[in-house]
Amino acid sequence: MLSPEELSALYLSAKVACFATLFCIPFAIALAWYLARYQFRLKFIFEAFLQLPMVLPPVVLGYLLLILFGNKGWIGQYLHQMGIELAFNWKGAVLASMIVAFPLIVQPIRLSFQMMNQQLEHIAGSLGASPMKVFFSINLPLALPGILIGSILCFSRSLGEFGATMTFVGNIPDETRTIPIAIYSFLQQPDGEQMAMRLVTLSLILAFSALIANYFILQKYQRKLTG
């Protein structure tokens, strides 16, 4: 059985990962569609910037978030005046997870859009369908496998986020102590090894389940493509 501290970390991790994934999905779909459909000057620089969270040290990313969204940060000071707190708050953990995981959700969706037969869009348009109707009736359903795969990757990455979250929102029990931070905390305690091991086992199960789900979605999509 999990202790109250472990259950709290599990609940908080699930809440943060769910919100991060839900908030990422609409932005990722819009950006992936734009990148798949349009060419523009210095696009490679924009794409490199998009991939930055994957190569930056997480602590650096967390520090940048603190500079921007801390209570005295460039943006955070204005949010603070409106009563919105992100630093050292679970909402800040959502923001950190979103930024770290965003590249992982964009790429599968973008690939789905790039693989589409654009003749379907032209035919629908010639029959009088508006661009919005074409997008929601053709593009979005065909991109669903990429959206599901990207969402699983985003959710999984959010569950495992540690460095940026620890730097930006700290290690506050029942507020910002997610599973990775709880494991780190338990390992600092003389009697915390068993609790840490239970959370490590739980993390392995969750990660393996996400990979299996990702595999079956890919297999189902490939079967549809090959007929």
CA 205, 148, 51, 163 torsion-angle sign: negative
Identify the burial level of 182 via C-beta atoms within 10 angstroms of its C-beta, where 0-12 means exposed, 13-18 middle and 19 or more buried.
Answer: buried
Question: Is the Cβ–Cβ distance between 195 and 5 less than 8 Å?
Answer: yes
Which residues have C-beta within 8 Å of that of residue 146, sequence separation ≥ 6?
Answer: 32, 108, 109, 110, 111, 112, 113
| Mean pLDDT to the nearest integer, 209-214 | 86
What's the gap between Cα 37 and its chain centre?
A: 23
Q: Per the domain annotation, does 225 fall within a domain?
A: no
Which residues have C-beta within 8 Å of that of residue 114, sequence separation ≥ 6?
Answer: 36
Q: Per the domain annotation, does 136 fall within a domain?
A: yes
Write the pLDDT tens digit of every residue in 68-114. 999 889 999 999 999 999 999 999 999 999 999 999 999 999 999 99
* CATH assignment of the domain containing 80: 1.10.3720.10
pLDDT for residue 48: 92
pLDDT for residue 227: 55
pLDDT for residue 217: 80
pLDDT for residue 8: 94
Q: Per the domain annotation, does 185 fall within a domain?
A: no
Q: Is the pLDDT of residue 67 over 90?
A: yes
Tokens of 93: 């953990």
Of the candidates 7, 225, 226, 33, the one whose C-alpha atom is nearest the C-alpha of residue 134 is 33
Q: Per the domain annotation, does 98 fall within a domain?
A: yes
DSSP assignments along 163-208, one per residue: HHHHHHH---TTTT--HHHHHHHHHTSTT-HHHHHHHHHHHHHHHH
Which residues have C-beta within 8 Å of that of residue 24, sequence separation ≥ 6?
Answer: 98, 101, 102, 105, 151, 154
Maximum alpha-carbon separation in the chain? 70
| Mean pLDDT to the nearest integer, 12-37 | 96
pLDDT for residue 226: 54
Q: Per the domain annotation, does 85 fall within a domain?
A: yes
Give the amino acid at 138: I
**Overall domain count for the chain:** 1
Q: Per the domain annotation, does 193 fall within a domain?
A: no
Q: Per the domain annotation, does 147 fall within a domain?
A: yes
Range of the domain at 141: 13-35+52-176
Distance CA 226, CA 147 (A): 20
Write the pLDDT tens digit of every residue in 103-157. 999 999 999 999 888 888 888 888 888 889 989 988 998 899 899 999 999 999 9
* Ranges 44-53, 160-169, 212-221: which has the least confidence: 212-221
Q: Per the domain annotation, does 201 fall within a domain?
A: no
pTM for the model = 0.91
Tokens of 48: 């490199």
Distance CA 169, CA 26 (A): 25
How much helix, strand and coil, in percent to the nearest 5, is found in the chain?
80, 0, 20
